[in-house]
């Protein structure tokens, strides 16, 4: 694994899940493999879980993590090739990334979409430019279209709670007050489809279709009640529109998951990547109730990051 940008970088999902669960059982079992290796965590956008869990994961492997909030503290970066930089950007990524590649052995980058221009966002220019110019392995901490560390965490969490083969997993859209990226939903769909061990259903209001390149293979329905029947896992997430890009068409509170709706599931576990808007995206009764596995899901972010960083160290000749 040279980089970790999407599920396509992972030769075997179950092997990576096993590796993560082994770190959960024994966090310091490879406490030295990253000794004398420095990892840069670049945030062009805010984070809590990704930032903290990746730092802890790196430290568990003996690496030295350095966080740089580029979006707030760094020079404004330009990503377009041949840009005439007479506007607000101060430094080109083709100048900044090679310098970072000299400071760090591994670069991790979080960069959200603009939600203004779909073609630009879906080209994944920002993270591709870091790969092109840094000269070191790059790990996505969430990019314009995908959130692979979150999705690996989600499969780890599902694996821990599996009580029958081929579980029914439902990704349901939920209301929100502002337009959010499609990253988590795209990525979850891509990973569950690639995993191939579930009956996967996506439910959302009309006009909230996701990009087919990620959802192909899932059953898609606009009837949330039908989708929830006999579900073993319900993943709740808002996303803005993909076709008429980055908009909110519906904020229908009827789409919020409640205990009454959960009653038709197979005693489903409820998941969400966090942060969550209480009583808009998800009700208090679900978040504070016995069906929620959301806190454990978030805690598993450490083991997902640790498995990925170990893999990156080992497959790039960086492990001690």
Q: What residue ranges bind ligand CP (CB under 6 A)?
A: 47-50, 142, 150, 273-275
**Closest distance to ligand CP from the beta carbon of 166 (Å):** 27
Q: Please calculate the CA angle 101-15-166 and round it to the nearest 5 degrees.
A: 130
H/E run at residue 156: helix 148-160
**Closest distance to ligand CP from the beta carbon of 154 (Å):** 10
**Contact assessment for residue 88 and residue 76, using Cβ atoms and an 8 Å cutoff:** yes
**Closest distance to ligand CP from the beta carbon of 187 (Å):** 10
In terms of residues, how long is the chain? 320
**Closest distance to ligand CP from the beta carbon of 142 (Å):** 6
Radius of gyration of the chain (CA): 20
Which residue's CB comes closest to ligand CP?
50
First to last CA, the chain: 17
- DSSP letters, 93-132, are HHHHHHHHHHH-SEEEEE----SS-HHHHHTTHHHHHHHH
**Closest distance to ligand CP from the beta carbon of 184 (Å):** 7
Nearer to ligand CP, 47 or 240 (CB): 47
Nearer to ligand CP, 52 or 248 (CB): 52
Nearer to ligand CP, 49 or 269 (CB): 49
Nearer to ligand CP, 50 or 241 (CB): 50
Q: What are φ and ψ of residue 296, in 5° steps?
A: -65, -40
Nearer to ligand CP, 96 or 149 (CB): 149
């Amino acid at each position: 694994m040279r980089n970790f940008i999407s599920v396509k970088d992972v030769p075997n999902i179950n092997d990576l899940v096993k590796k993560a669960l082994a770190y959960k059982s024994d966090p310091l079992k490879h406490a030295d493999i990253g000794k004398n290796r420095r990892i840069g965590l670049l945030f062009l956008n805010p984070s809590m879980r990704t930032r903290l869990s990746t730092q802890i994961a790196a430290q568990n492997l003996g690496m030295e993590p350095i966080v740089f909030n580029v979006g707030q503290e760094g020079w404004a970066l330009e990503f377009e090739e041949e840009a005439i930089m007479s506007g607000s950007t101060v430094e080109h990524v083709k100048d900044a990334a090679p310098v970072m590649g000299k400071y760090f052995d591994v670069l991790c980058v979080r960069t959200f979409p603009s939600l203004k221009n779909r073609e630009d966002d879906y080209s994944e220019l920002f993270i591709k430019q870091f790969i092109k110019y840094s000269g070191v392995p790059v790990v996505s901490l969430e990019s314009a279209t995908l959130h692979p560390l979150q999705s690996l965490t989600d499969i780890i969490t599902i694996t821990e709670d599996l009580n029958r083969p081929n579980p029914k997993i439902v990704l349901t859209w939920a209301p929100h007050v502002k337009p959010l990226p499609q990253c988590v939903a795209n990525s979850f769909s891509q990973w569950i489809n690639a995993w191939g061990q579930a009956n996967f259903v996506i439910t959302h209001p009309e006009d909230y279709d996701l990009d087919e390149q990620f959802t192909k293979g899932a059953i898609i329905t606009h009837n949330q009640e039908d989708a929830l029947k006999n579900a073993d896992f319900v993943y709740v997430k808002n996303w803005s529109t993909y076709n008429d890009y980055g908009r909110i068409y519906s904020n229908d509170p009827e789409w919020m998951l409640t205990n009454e709706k959960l009653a038709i599931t197979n005693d489903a576990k409820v998941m969400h990547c966090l942060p969550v808007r209480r009583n808009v995206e998800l009700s208090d009764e679900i978040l504070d109730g016995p069906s929620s596995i959301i806190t454990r899901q978030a805690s598993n972010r450490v083991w997902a990051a640790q498995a990925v960083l170990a893999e990156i160290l080992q497959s790039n000749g960086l492990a001690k």
